[in-house]
């Protein structure tokens, strides 16, 4: 599995704002929006393009457009905060949704929503979830996509734990991972350390569980 860690200073400064426990939810969401733009920008570097003729005010030129814009799939709740930034960069894309909540005892994902096209053959999919911890949630989502015929899944996440990266890699699914950091590991509640806490709660509110 191809893994890219986006270590650009602008990406790392947004990540720092998100990690800081003093950052309020408005500033956290703003940093997530900006960081997502950078992650998706890097993810899109290898997207297929189509050349086509255009005319500038001065004369003919060659234009470039996405040959096959990906389906964008945010994993609810926390991935919702990444959706707008991705769609702004890829306005031709469509969007699907997967809703997952991790059980606090078993750490297994519980699926509560799925809104995806039935046939994904020939369509790349860009999955958005800020956190890759044990990997259970993203694996669940990626399996749904591959079961529908998808052969190219690009996962953008803010933070990854080595355990989650290994789980994705060992799955053998056709994945590529773009992240801003691979952190030290997981604590006994399966939160990423040092991490940033609960990405859903930090955006939308809730009780700390770590």
C-alpha angle 144-150-154 in degrees, rounded to nearest 5: 90
> What is the Cα 85 distance to its own chain's centre?
11
Peptide bond into 35 cis (omega under 30): no
Give Cβ neighbours of residue 52 (< 8 Å, ≥ 6 apart).
Answer: 62, 63, 64, 65
Q: Please, what is the minimum distance in Å from the beta carbon of residue 26 to ligand PRP?
A: 18
x/- mask, ligand PRP, residues 21-60, rule CB under 6 A, reads ----------------------------------------
Q: Is residue 152 within 8 Å of 47, Cβ to Cβ? A: no
- Using the rule CB under 6 A, give the single segment among 38-46, 81-89, 101-109, 174-182 that binds ligand PRP: 101-109
Closer CB to ligand URA, residue 82 or residue 199? Answer: 199
Closer CB to ligand URA, residue 152 or residue 198? Answer: 198
Contact between 75 and ligand URA per CB under 6 A: no
Give Cβ neighbours of residue 129 (< 8 Å, ≥ 6 apart).
Answer: 74, 75, 78, 79, 82, 137, 138, 141, 155, 156, 157
Which of ligand PRP, ligand URA, none interacts with 109 (beta carbon under 5 to 8 A by kind)?
A: ligand PRP
Peptide bond into 194 cis (omega under 30): yes
Closer CB to ligand PRP, residue 124 or residue 200? Answer: 200
Site for ligand URA in 124-143 (CB under 6 A): 131, 133
Number of residues that make up the chain: 210
Q: Which residues pair with 97 in a beta bridge?
A: 115
Q: Please, what is the minimum distance in Å from the beta carbon of residue 42 to ligand URA?
A: 22
Closer CB to ligand PRP, residue 69 or residue 173? Answer: 173
- Using the rule CB under 6 A, give the single segment among 10-18, 37-45, 60-68, 127-135 that binds ligand PRP: 127-135
DSSP 32: H
**Residues at the interface with ligand URA (CB under 6 A):** 78, 131, 133, 191-192, 195, 198-200
**Residues at the interface with ligand PRP (CB under 6 A):** 75, 77-78, 100-102, 107, 109, 129-138, 164, 190, 198-200
């Amino acid at each position: 599995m191809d893994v890219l860690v986006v270590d650009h200073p602008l990406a790392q400064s947004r990540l720092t704002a998100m990690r800081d426990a003093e950052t309020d939810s408005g500033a956290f969401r703003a940093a997530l929006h900006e960081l997502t733009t950078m992650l998706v920008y890097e993810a899109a570097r290898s997207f297929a393009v189509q050349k086509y003729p255009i005319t500038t005010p001065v004369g003919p030129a060659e234009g470039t457009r996405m040959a096959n814009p990906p389906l964008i799939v945010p994993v609810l709740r926390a991935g919702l905060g990444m959706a707008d930034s991705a769609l702004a960069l890829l306005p031709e894309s469509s969007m699907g949704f997967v809703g997952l909540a991790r059980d606090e005892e078993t750490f297994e994902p519980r699926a509560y929503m799925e809104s995806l096209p039935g046939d994904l053959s020939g369509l790349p999919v860009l999955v958005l979830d800020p956190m890759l911890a044990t990997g259970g949630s993203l694996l669940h989502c990626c399996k749904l996509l591959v079961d529908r015929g998808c052969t190219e899944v690009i996962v953008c996440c803010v933070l990854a734990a080595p355990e989650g990266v290994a789980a994705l890699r060992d799955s053998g699914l056709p994945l590529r991972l773009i992240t801003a950091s691979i952190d030290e590991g997981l604590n006994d509640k399966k939160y990423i350390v040092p991490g940033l806490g609960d990405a859903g709660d930090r955006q939308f509110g809730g009780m700390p569980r770590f």
